[in-house]
Structure 1
Amino acid sequence: MSIVIDRVAGPTPGLAAFLLAHHADMEGTAPPESRHALPLDALLAPGIRLFAARDGDLLVATGALAPIEEQHEELKSMRTDPARRGEGLGRRVLHVLLDDARRRGIRRVSLETGSAEFFHPARSLYSRAGFRACPPFADYAPDPHSVFLTIDLSAP
């Protein structure tokens, strides 16, 4: 198996369906106003850095970085194909995203994820990578359905 993680510049085969499935996965986890996944058109907007992991032609994971302010970005659309969970794909995509941010001089990456049990594996992944709890950032407000995390990329 060879996983290739590339930056996505535009719509690619299977991307729309993969991201629609991401939204469907979260349907029952929180009310609509507490779900913050971006649609495909927003992920392809200028300034957003979307990455896709492929095993051959098969899309198996995604992740994106969206600017918040100078040297601060938000992690968005982290998703692994449910059939491929447990293989370390999320960890690999996260590593690529954080390396990309570091190379570009980004000092902080933050994220919002769900508080429901469904998101426990994601929260564990982020914690192992060095993310720590933080207050709501950007336009987010406190929400019992949300967990806010951040990592300082300038720390040794």
Structure 2
Amino acid sequence: MEIENMEIREDDLSGAETRGLIARHLADMRETSPEESCHALDADALQDPSVTFWSAWIDGRVAGIGALKRLDAVNGEVKSMRVEDAFRGSGVGRALVRHIIRTARRHGLRAIWLETGAQPEFAAARGLYASEGFVECGPFASYREDPHSVFMRLDL
């Protein structure tokens, strides 16, 4: 899917717009999930060397964010996927997921994983991931069974 005038760029998280979207993402996660079930990374954690972070821009405005965290030599995790409210339903999220999948393949990963919410507010995200080939699975890495979490995997 190609969105006119959209640019996805690797982001160093120094810009106020990007940091603002991360802050809104974290606030929303805390509103919908108990603290022990919030696995979203803040801006500092997203600057870890194991994480590559991207922002999507349309007409000079941040439209979405997403990251890929390398778990080991062959596995990665999708982190911090969020589309700015004004751009929801426009294909920004799908473009970011596809960008992350392409990058993971290019770097030789064999699978990418993710954790998302089980609540109704996350239904659109779960549908997006499923439509891109992710399937539900059990917990991975340091995650544990949690009624507020859905775990998904995509074999590359």
TM-score tier after normalising by the smaller chain length = over 0.9
Tell me which residue corresponds to 2:86: 83
Tell me which residue corresponds to 1:2: 5
Deviation string 1:18-73 (CA, Å, 9 cap, x unpaired) is 10000112222111010100000111121211010001321110000001122100
Gap runs ≥5 in structure 1: none
Tell me which residue corresponds to 1:46: 49
Task: Give, in whole Å, the separation in 1 of the partners of 2:31 and 2:12.
Answer: 31
Q: Is the contact between residue 51 and residue 67 of structure 2 (CA under 8 Å) also seen in structure 1?
A: yes
Task: Give, in whole Å, the separation in 2 of the partners of 1:93 and 1:10.
Answer: 16
- SS of residue in 2 equivalent to 1:26: helix
TM-score by length of 1: 0.95
Gap runs ≥5 in structure 2: none
Matches within 5 A, 1:1-156: 1-153=4-156
TM-score by length of 2: 0.95
Task: Give, in whole Å, the separation in 2 of the partners of 1:137 and 1:69.
Answer: 12
Residue 13 of structure 1 deviates from its aligned partner by 3.4
Residue 10 of structure 1 deviates from its aligned partner by 4.2
Give the superposed CA RMSD: 1.0
Task: Determine what percentage of the aligned residue pairs are the same residue.
Answer: 39
Task: Give, in whole Å, the separation in 2 of the partners of 1:87 and 1:15.
Answer: 19
Residue 122 of structure 1 deviates from its aligned partner by 0.2
Q: Could you list the structure 1 runs, at least 4 aligned residues long, displaced by more than 3 angstroms after superposition.
A: none
Letter of the structure 2 residue corresponding to residue 104 of structure 1: H
